[in-house]
Structure 1
Amino acid sequence: MSHDDTSIGSIDAVAFDWVARLDNAPLNVSDAAALQRWLAEDVRHRGAFVRAQSLWMSAGRMAALQGMPLRAPVPPRALSRRALIRTAVAAGIAGTCLIPHRSADASEIFHAASGLMHVTQPECGEIVLDQGTILRIRRNTGRPAFDLLTGRMSLAARRVSLPINMNGLFIALQPSSKLIAHAAGTDSDALVLQGHALSHCVQERMDRHLHARDWIQTTPRSITVTTLCDDDMERAVAWSQGKLEFQSVDVVEAISELNRYNARKIILTGSACAHRKISGIFMLDDPLGFARVLREIFGVRLSISKENIAIS
């Protein structure tokens, strides 16, 4: 693990690495001491560790719901005495909650720390993870189960149904179907791009049948399902194709969105175009191209360096 990068994304990635390691096996003396040092280095480290544990536990709780009407596999197991001791030690180190342990589960963590991440799985082909997304893939049967801990992903099912857990929203994506799933704290949503899916929310007893264009949004207080038009569908999937589509968006908002994906940042040094509106389709990894469009439309000046693009 690299401890040099102090960005929030890097700190979260290190925290999830520690949590995944604790869940997988006990730490040896050297690694336990390294974790203690890392937690003591910076209050942000402790906060990131708490967040990582909370999201990991949420995924575990959602996995337990797989015995509900959608009949997804694997009920939760009781902790062994060894696992209880191990998690108690982990909690003592962090001063926070316990990490669930299911010893028979094989799981992988994927974190899109910089730009889009493409992950290939035999049951679903290529998965696209948006910037900042953290995805856990569990394999305790012949098919994978997906825990979307935070962020956004595009996923297609081939020959088997794929279960997806998202902080209170459970989706069973049916064969030959595709969706975009999004988790943000206690809020989750999913958009069916093709085929169909079954959904279950912790607030409801009945499953819902979702079809292409159906967009389900859940919060702790509400559940809504809407059907999107062609234009809205195109905007919803643009990010997974390496593009951003803006429709009459404030320039400052568009710049903020582009900056999420790029180390080379666009900086507004004046307010000449900050609250002007812009529409169009732009490449996620081309901030200079976007800045040049602003120059053509609004007549702004560009100051270009390796680190940033200043607009005045």
Structure 2
Amino acid sequence: MRGNEMSHERETSREASSDGTDAVASQTALDVDELVVGYPGADGPVIDGQTLAVPEGEVTALIGPNGSGKSTLLKALANRLDPDDGRVLLDDRRVDSFDSKELARKLGRLSQQNTAPDTISVEELVERGRYPHQGFFESQTDGDEEAVDEAIAMAGVEHLRDREVGTLSGGQTQLVWIAMVLAQDTDILLLDEPTTFLDPRHQLEVMRVVERLRDESDTTVVLVLHDISQAARYADNVVALKAGTIYANGPPEAVVTDDLLADVFDIDSEIIETKHGPVVVPLDPLVEHSRNETNESEMLQRGESSSNKQE
């Protein structure tokens, strides 16, 4: 699919009430409607007028080259960036109409960079995920303890429970952070590059947690992945971004193709079908694409446009 096509059609009303409720007929977990978002001081928006429906209870992977807007879109879904235009809807309400704790009870997010004191124990860190469900000065309840136990078990870090976070490996630490966000007990989970820099074993463990969330709890998961084979293997839906636009959106077999990898990533590749899912083998960069991009960049610096280029 091309040109920001949707996996299914829906009608959208632009009327909003004072409490942030929007009249949208949608069965999706999150609705992105003509979203424009960027950063202060930037020349233009990173995400420019994009529309997307995130299916409920499924895994959606965001893929694309560096700078394509994957993490920016994820931040907008989590209300970490104010849109310049458009909106993101959760439960037919704009996400920016929720207060922080209310939103955190519905949507969990794990960013690329996370820090905690080295001396804090794994259990104590996971307990911090319960903050949206607690009032000031409230002690841990039986429900909190149960949620922490379940999160630790699902992330597979029971054997690390009493360890200090500073003594863990990178892969172990990532699983503990995932356990913390699982303890929030939300219906939607956003993960920004959860497997980057991990060894193959810990990558598999992270992705198996994602599978269990979908299969055992019907959690909606949206995650940014650099590994295209992982996206094709584990995701129900793949969204390919290029230069701030949604280039394609649909099931992996429709999105992860030789043509798309050439158009979006500028690579020649081979896709090998296996019983475990497709495997993407990058072969060569597309030199002609790179040259065209370089020439275009040089022309823009000189104040020219491709239409004025002399043949």
Whether these two folds match at TM > 0.5 is no
Determine which structure has greater relative contact order: mean sequence separation of CA pairs < 8 Å that are 6+ residues apart, divided by chain length: 2
Q: TM-score, normalised by structure 1?
A: 0.27
- Structure number with the higher helix fraction is 2
- Structure number with the higher strand fraction is 1
